[in-house]
Structure 1
Amino acid sequence: MPKLTIITIVYNNVRDIERTIKSVLNQTYKNIEYIVIDGASTDGTLQVVEQYKNQISKIISEPDKGIYDAMNKGLALATGDYVLFMNSGDEIYDPKTVEDIFASSPGADIYYGETEMYNDNWESLGRRRHEAPEEFDWTSFKYGMSISHQAIYIRRSIVTPYDLTYRYSSDIDWIIKAAKKASNIVNVNRYVAKYLVGGMSKKKHRESLKERFKIFTKYYGLLPNIFNHMVIAVNLALYFVKHRRTND
C-alpha cells in the first residue's frame, strides 16, 4: 500500500473547501497523508479547515506568492510515495477512487484517468473536451492538455518544484518534466476527479495560452508547435460545430 500525499491549496474559498476536504477524508484507501496549504484566507476558510485538523496531516496558513508557490510549499512537506493535487473546489471522484487506482497496476510511475467537469452550481457538464489519451507520455500534450492536474498521480521521486517563472500554466511544464522521467505510465480507465471550471487559467485565458505556447515550444520545437496549434484550432472548430448540431 503505497503512501499517497494529497495536497489541497486554497485561498478565500469558504464555499467549496469543505466539499474538497470530505472527498479526501472519505476515501476507503487509508495510507493517505493530507496537506492543506491556505494562503492566509480572510473569509472563514481556515476555520472550516480547522474543523478537520485531527484528520489532516499538516495545515499551513500564511501568505504566498501565488498558486504555484503554494503548491511548492505542499511538495516540500510531502513524504508520500506519490503526490496528487486536489485543489479547493475539486473532488476525488468517489470514495473508492484511490483504492482502485493503486489496485489497477502496482508500482507505476504515473497513474492517470478521466475528469468530469462541474459548473459553479456544482452541476455536471460531462467529460472534459480533451479526453484522456489511451496511452500517455511526455509528448501527449502537443495537441493540448489532455489530462487534468487533478487526475494524475505521480511518484514523488520523479517530480520537481513548479517553475515559478510560469504564473498560469506551470502545471503543464511540471507534468511534462515528470512524464519524461517516467518509465511506467498507467491509464486506470475510469473517472478519477471532479473539476470545478473557472480557475486561474480560465480567468487569465490569454496569458495562460501564451504560457502554454511557450512551454510547448520548449519541449516540442517551434515549427511542430505551430503546426500542432493549427490542428488544435481545427479540432476546436469541429467540436463546436458538432455540439451546436447536438444542441439544436
Structure 2
Amino acid sequence: MGARVSVVTAVWNAREALKKTVASVAAMGGIDHVVVDGASSDGTPEYLGQTGTRWISEPDKGIADAMTKGIGMATGEYVLILQAGDLFAPGVTLDELEAELDGSDIVSFDVLVTHPDGDVRFLSRGLGAKLETSMSVPHQGAFVRRDLYDRIGAFEAQYKVGMDYEFMLRAKRAGASCKVVGRISSIMPADGISARRDWPSLQKRLAENRLIHSVHARGLRDRIVQKIYWSIYPLYKRLRHIGGRR
C-alpha cells in the first residue's frame, strides 16, 4: 500500500535549509516526499542524489510552477507543501496527522512561524469569511486532497507571492470542503517571501492580493466591498509598519 500523504518541497539554492526539511519528513516515516529543484548551483542536486526522496532538478518559472510540478509527481491521497526550511512540529506523529484526514478536500492545521523577535502561531480559519480579505489557511499546515488539484488546477505561475492564497480562494469558489484542526502541525521560519515583514515585501503581497481579489470578485457587491477595503487597508498596514507592529 502506498503512502497516504505526499510532501512536496520546491527549492532553489537552499541546500542547507532543504537538509532540515528532508530530515524532518524522513523522521516521520511513511511519507512520499517529492523535491522539485529549480536547477540549483549550490550542490542541491548532488545532495538530493544521496537521499531517498524522489526529485527532479530543472529550470522552472518560479515557485508556483515548481510546486505544481511536484503535485503532478505526488502519489499520496493528500498533498502537503513544505518548503526548504519548513519542519514538522516536534512531537507530531504521522498517525496523529492521518487520523484527521477524514476525506475533506482540505484538512488545515495551525502553523508556528518563527521570527527573530518572537514566534507567531498562524491560526487556520478555514475557508470562511476571513479568506475573502486575507490568507486564512497556512499552506504549511494544509493537507489538500490530490483530486482537488485535479479538479480545479494547482498554482498559477503568474503569482510570485500569493499563489497559495489564490488557490484557496479558487477552492472556496469551487465549493471545496475544509476541516480545521486546532493544533500545530508544522514550523515555518520567517525567511520565505510570504512571511517577510519589510515594507517592500508587504507592498508586493498587497499588490498581488488586490489582483487576486479582483479576479475572484463575484459581482457588484464584492467589487464595492473591495473598493472600500483597498482604500483603507494599505494605509492601515503602513501605519502599523511604521509603528513597529506587523
Please classify the TM superposition score into its range, dividing by the shorter chain length: 0.7 to 0.9
Match of 2:204 among 202, 207, 210: 207
Structure 1 runs, 4 residues or longer, greater than 4 Å off: 231-244
In structure 2, the residue matched to 1:63 is 59
Aligned residue runs from structure 1 range 2-41, under 5 A: 3-27=4-28, 30=30, 32-41=31-40
Cα distance in structure 2, aligned partners of 1:105 and 1:61: 31
Q: Look up the SS of the partner of 1:116 in the other structure.
A: strand
Kept in 2, the 8 Å contact 1:23–1:92? The answer is yes
Structure 1 residues 157-196: aligned runs within 5 Å? 157-159=147-149, 160-196=153-189
Write the mapping of 1:208-227 to structure 2, written as runs, cut at 5 A: 208-220=205-217, 221-227=222-228
* Larger CA deviation: 4-13 vs 145-154: 145-154
* 221-230 or 73-82, larger mean C-alpha shift: 221-230
Displacement, 1:234?
Answer: 5.3
Percent of residue pairs identical: 26
The root-mean-square deviation of aligned C-alpha atoms, in Å, is 2.9
Offset of 1:93 from its aligned partner? 1.6
Distance 1:97 1:188 in 2: 15
Q: Who is 2:102 aligned against?
A: 106
Who is 2:87 aligned against? 91
Q: Aligned in 2, Cα 1:231/1:74: closer, same or farther, shift over 3 Å?
A: same
Q: 1:189 to 1:111 in 2, by over 3 A?
A: same
Instruction: Measure the CA separation in 1 of the matches of 2:103 and 2:135.
Output: 25
With over 3 angstroms needed to count, the CA separation of the structure-2 counterparts of 1:200 and 1:234, relative to structure 1, is closer
Tell me how far 1:157 sits from its aligned partner.
1.0
**Per-residue deviation at 1:105?**
5.4
> Match of 1:146, as an amino acid?
S
Calculate the TM-score normalised by the size of structure 1. Answer: 0.81
**Match for 1:199: what amino acid?**
G
The separation in 1 between residues aligned to 2:147 and 2:37, in whole angstroms, is 25
Deviation per residue, 1:120-161 (Å, 9 max, x gap): xxx683224x5322xx22643223212222111111111212
